[in-house]
Each structure stands twice: as structure tokens, then as C-alpha cells.
Amino acid sequence: MSWTDERVDLLKKLWQEGLSASQIAGELGGVTRNAVIGKIHRLGLSGRGQPTSTIKRARRPRNSAPVRQQRQTVTVGATALQAEVEVEMEVEQETELQPVHALVMPISRRLTIEKLTERTCKWPIGDPGDEDFHFCGCDSLESSPYCEYHAGVAYQTSDPRRRMKRAANG
């Protein structure tokens, strides 16, 4: 695939919408997230408004010394003195927990295209193009684009409520 005008346009759009590179890559198809990121940079679109969060990495030449896998195991001395106490307590206020019981998934996450990866349920909800259109977004099964619930819906019955009832009754 090449960067046609249309694809670049879509790339820009999705990037501006805040989608991740991998998501955009998936949306475009035929490209990897690296390709997307590379293009983003070439277009000078990096940054995306996001403040300096993960920048500041130290660049180091890797051409001279390929060092494929820096597995040199540099055993320095006095490792015991490296008491790097990094206790970070994070009190989870627990805002809106969703139990998500097995097979019971009436409420979908409000995922548009964000966070949709190969491991998130891509069950479409609503009409495409509609403002309410989104995806389930729950954890998908292995080798399946859908979560447990929607996988069942997709491959068996056409009425989700039957399965829900079934699950509820045992």
C-alpha cells in the first residue's frame, strides 16, 4: 500500500481525533503502526497537542554498534546499595466499576474506535455513521474479534437476549 492522498487525509483525520497509531494502521489497513508513526512524523503532525509527556528520551547511535540485544548483563558492583524504593500508592477511588459477569454484557463500553485492538471486542453497536455508533470494546476472546458474549451472538443466535436469559438461569 502507498500513501495516497486519500489515505493521508484519513491518517490526518484519525490522528487528530486522537486515535493511536496502531488503531489508525488498522483502520487504513495494509500498514503497520510504525508506518503510521513514520508518516505522522514526516507530515510534521507529531505531538498531537499532547504536552511533553513521554519525550526526553536519550538518543543514542545504534548504527556503529548494532547491539541487537543489549543483553550484556553489566554486573556492576554494589548493586545492593541500589535501594530504589519506589513505593507508589495509588488509591483507586473506584468510580464506575463494571463487574462484567460471564455472558452478561448488556451495556457496552462507549468505545468509538479508541482502544480497539485485536483483543477488544469489535461488535458494532448502533448504525455506522450514526452519532451513537460505537463498539463493544470488552476483552475479546483469543482468535476472535468479539468478546465471549458477542462471539456467541455472532456465531449462534441472532437474539442476544436469549443467551442472556440462558446465562441468568444457569
Partner DNA sequence: CCCTGATTCGC
Partner DNA sequence: GCGAATCAGG
Cβ distance to DNA smaller for residue 9 or 159: 9
Evaluate whether 134 touches 126 at the Cβ level (below 8 Å): yes
CB closer to DNA, 104 vs 144: 144
Residue closer to DNA by CB (options 82, 169) is 82
Binding site for DNA (CB under 7 A): 1-3, 19-23, 31-35, 37-42, 46-47, 53-63, 66-68, 70, 117-119
| Least spacing, CB of residue 121 vs DNA, in Å | 13
Residue 5 CB neighbour total at 10 angstroms: 7
Q: What DSSP state is assigned to residue 108?
A: P
Q: Which amino acid is at 140?
A: S
Q: Which is nearer to DNA, 2 or 143 (CB)?
A: 2
Residues contacting residue 119 through CB under 8 Å, at least 6 positions apart? 139, 140
- Taking the complex as a whole, how short is the minimal distance between the CB of residue 105 and DNA, in angstroms? 20
DSSP H stretches of helix in the chain: 5-16, 21-28, 33-42, 148-155, 160-169
- Minimum distance, C-beta of residue 47 to DNA, in the bound complex (Å): 6
Distance in Å, CB of 159 to DNA, minimum: 31
